[in-house]
């Protein structure tokens, strides 16, 4: 069960539990199932994104950010989705001056959400 305390913590990383539960046929259990699965799928993507950014592989950074945008969008994790979407848009537009700051926001939100998920 998602307590009010955990709902508040998730809201800090951009996840509106009420909205997402309604998207999952009003089933908290179903939402939690997919929320937990998200981290299994996203973990390697986040690691790959960080590695690509560290070595300056912009094409791979864009691909990994795009994958993470989709994964995080599916569960409403906007603290990850927003920065991922911005990285994708900026890199596709040839803007390379802000993606590292956005990557920092993304990883902080991701790891905070992972920490919260371990309470569930």
Could you give the domains of the chain? 4-117 (1.20.120.160)
Q: Computed from CA positions of residues 82, 117, 10, 15, in that sequence, does the dihedral angle turn out positive or negative?
A: positive
| Residue 51 confidence (pLDDT) | 98
Q: Which residues contact 50 (CB under 8 A, 6 or more apart)?
A: 103, 107
Distance CA 99, CA 58 (A): 10
The predicted-structure confidence for 44-91, as pLDDT tens digits, reads as follows 999 999 999 999 999 999 999 999 999 999 999 999 999 999 999 999
| Residue 86 confidence (pLDDT) | 98
Q: What is the mean pLDDT of the chain?
A: 97
């Amino acid at each position: 069960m998602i307590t009010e305390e955990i709902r508040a913590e998730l809201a800090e990383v951009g996840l509106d539990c009420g909205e997402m539960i309604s998207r999952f046929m009003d089933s908290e259990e179903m939402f939690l199932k997919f929320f937990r699965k998200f981290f299994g799928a996203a973990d390697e993507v986040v690691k790959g994104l960080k590695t690509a950014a560290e070595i300056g592989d912009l094409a791979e950074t864009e691909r990994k950010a795009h994958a993470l945008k989709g994964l995080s969008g599916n569960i409403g994790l906007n603290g990850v989705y927003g920065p991922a979407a911005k990285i994708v848009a900026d890199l596709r537009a040839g803007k390379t001056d802000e993606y590292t700051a956005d990557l920092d926001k993304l990883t902080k939100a991701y790891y905070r959400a992972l920490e919260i998920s371990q309470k569930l």
